[in-house]
Structure 1
Amino acid sequence: MDFETIRELTDLDRILELLGEYRSLGPLPGIFLPMLEAFIPFLPLVLFVMANAAAFGLWLGFLYSWIGTCAGALLVFFIVRKLGQKKLFGFISRHKKIKSLMYWVESHGFGPLFLLLCFPFTPSAAINIVAALSKVSIGQFTLAVLCGKLVMIFMVSYIGYDVRALVQQPVRTAIVLIVIFILWYVGKRIEQKLTVQGVTKEKGN
């Protein structure tokens, strides 16, 4: 994937054009783009979800985004867990901050994973890797992904299913921006709290 392709995938209008060009493939493009973000985390998942909602409608767009996002997260989880003892991932898992997060995830399982995955601006790629390197069960992680992404994808789909209204209705745009800021702020606070508590528990041992 070259730089020009990546640049195109950060522009909402171009994403909508691509979905239109490949509409003959049915839901596959709408599923593939959110799934790709799990492997290339700097791609804009929020834009992919909004584009799906605008291109396929609220419910189908939400469904395709949810399937793709969950599939990508689970694939990353299984790949990292399979290769977790290899040199690269062994180095990552020994990092102090990563170790504290791993300990916290192992201790609390479903709850913190679900909360973090509910918010669109938490680093889901890092969460997938940390969960895979920890001893959290496959069942706990799968349930957290399915439920957390369900909440997050629906919120973003609802915002994005009528993109033009964001331009034509300033009040709605302001509400959307406020909601996005709140989601970002709450997500960052939860992430910071989990990190601090993880470090505290590790020192206590």
Structure 2
Amino acid sequence: MIKKINQAASILGLLLCAVLAYGFWKAGLFNSKEALTSYISQFGWAGPAVFVMFQAVQVVLPILPGGLGCLAGVILFGAWKGFWYNYIGICAGSLAAFAIARVCGRPLLESVFPAKMIEKYDRWMGSGSRFAKWFAFLIFIPVAPDDYLCFLAGTTRIGWRLYTAIILLCKPMSIALYSLGLTMVAQNLLGLWR
């Protein structure tokens, strides 16, 4: 039941993002960085606040691939502000995922994530200090399934303090690589704002 709700919410969120992107495209907001920046700035503090909230929710309930959210932050707010808004939102969402898993336990993992993924990371990461070391490494690199790992961590013995330190210290590298790397791809391959 939870898996179906999660899938439906993800599909609905993806459709809403596609409609929003189409609306931006039709309005000519993707024709220049200045047009997009001007449009977003008219919302004042609400623009960044909504984006940060979107990124936080995105960790708990994936709507888009995480890298696309990071790219959106940099496109909408620029490299530095986009990085910080991504960082704040993703860290907040990571803490929320941990808290939810801490309350719901393993049944949540089993109802939301594929059994093969659970078995793979259970076997590979182990428990205790071994788990914490692997968790920190995987959060640091930009290719691991971070959302799942945050939920998984909530079902282990890792403490709040250590978990929070790992998230706050290891997330910046992967967020920076996603944010700036995908921005370069968008600019070079898609000819964005040339």
TM over 0.5: yes
Which of residues 119, 124, 130 in structure 2 aligns to 1:97?
Answer: 119
Match of 1:147 in 2: 169
Q: Which residue of 1 aligns with 2:89?
A: 68
Shift in Å, 1:104: 1.5
- CA distance in 2: counterparts of 1:45 and 1:79, whole angstroms: 19
Q: Percent identity?
A: 22
> Counterpart amino acid of 1:140?
L
Secondary structure of the residue aligned to 1:145 is helix
Quick check: 1:33 aligned with 2:54? Answer: yes
- Corresponding residue for residue 167 of structure 1: 190
The residue that corresponds to 1:198 in the other structure is: none
Could you tell me how far apart the structure 1 residues matched to 2:19 and 2:142 are?
18
Q: TM-score, normalised by structure 2?
A: 0.68
- Name the counterpart of 1:47: 68
Q: Deviations over 1:59-106 (max 9, x none)?
A: 100000000000001011012212328xx34967xx782783597242
Task: Determine the structure 2 residue equivalent to 1:6.
Answer: 14
The within-5 A match list for 1:65-144 is: 65-84=86-105, 88-89=107-108, 97=119, 100-101=122-123, 104-144=126-166
Residues 111-163 of structure 1, C-alpha deviations (whole Å, 9 max, x = no match):
21122112333222221121111101111211111122111111112124463
**What's the offset of the Cα at 1:42?**
5.1
What is the SS of the residue equivalent to 1:23? coil
| Residues 1:45 and 1:89: Cα distance change in structure 2 (over 3 Å) | closer
In 2, Cα distance between the equivalents of 1:91 and 1:2?
Answer: 18
2:77 maps to: 56
Contact map agreement 1:102 1:134 (CA 8 A) in 2: no
Per mean C-alpha deviation after superposition, the further-off stretch among 96-105 and 108-117 is 96-105
Q: 1:97 to 1:75 in 2, by over 3 A?
A: same
| Separation in 2, partners of 1:89, 1:166 | 40
Structure 1, unmatched stretches of 5+, are 170-205
Contact 1:70 1:149 in 2 (8 A): yes
Give the match for residue 43 of structure 2. 23
In structure 2, the gaps of 5 or more residues are: 1-8, 30-35
What letter corresponds to residue 190 of structure 2 in structure 1? V
Contact 2:70-2:178 within 8 A present in 1 as well: yes
Q: Distance in 1 between matches of 2:13 and 2:170?
A: 29
